[in-house]
Structure 1
């Protein structure tokens, strides 16, 4: 059953009770990474293996993960090529009260340093599970970013 989460703003990224932060270097330029994140929403399923489907909506995105998890999200900030931040408004995941994800893109040589922050609040059980899931979430993030980097490299080679 889906439930509505609190409509927190951008500041929640810094103040959330649970903050899971992951980083990864990419060879792709920040502009290409930003386009993949913010403009090619359906393409997420091609590089992020947990994503079964993603589609843009009027104010954000609808995302379905493998295993049946669903999210309805609102984009809070899309500032090319630096930051892409969205809030989960509705999900069928039990326990969250507020959830924001932020992708920060920083030039690094000719590539990009990607930093993703999961800002979360929820029941005690949700918080505990989130902390326990952190290593797996980090691996999934790093694998997805590496896959995206290969995908963007192939696209650049074809251009």
Structure 2
């Protein structure tokens, strides 16, 4: 019985790897546009940050997704009325969303990607003025810095 389960697991792993076998290796330059070797997100524009970091889970139009996980919709989301709420969510994470406010890896199997205060402000301002949201009062990098740990520690 154990052998049968083991063989089934090996078969499943082998089948899961098949689509990747025919694909070319990822372009290192394209990967470096997302994050540097230390995990820092490279994009500076809110839309570019959303496209490179957020839309993989929240989808291109911000409608969210349910399936392998539960990713809330950002489009037309009343919580976007609070810029600090979005900023803290990005900085500290929420539920299964990783924290993007730390340069220290908190992930078990993958390196942590992180953003500085200007990048967090840029993506929050993008989210609040796009995807069906119409909240025009911006958050600044200084506002984001104040939401970080009061000691200034980027954990």
TM-score by length of 2: 0.31
- Larger proportion of strand: 1
Instruction: Provide the TM-score with structure 1 as the length reference.
Output: 0.30
- Which one has the largest radius of gyration? 2
1 or 2 for the larger relative contact order (CA 8 Å, sep ≥6)? Answer: 1
Of Structure 1 and Structure 2, the greater helix share is in: 2
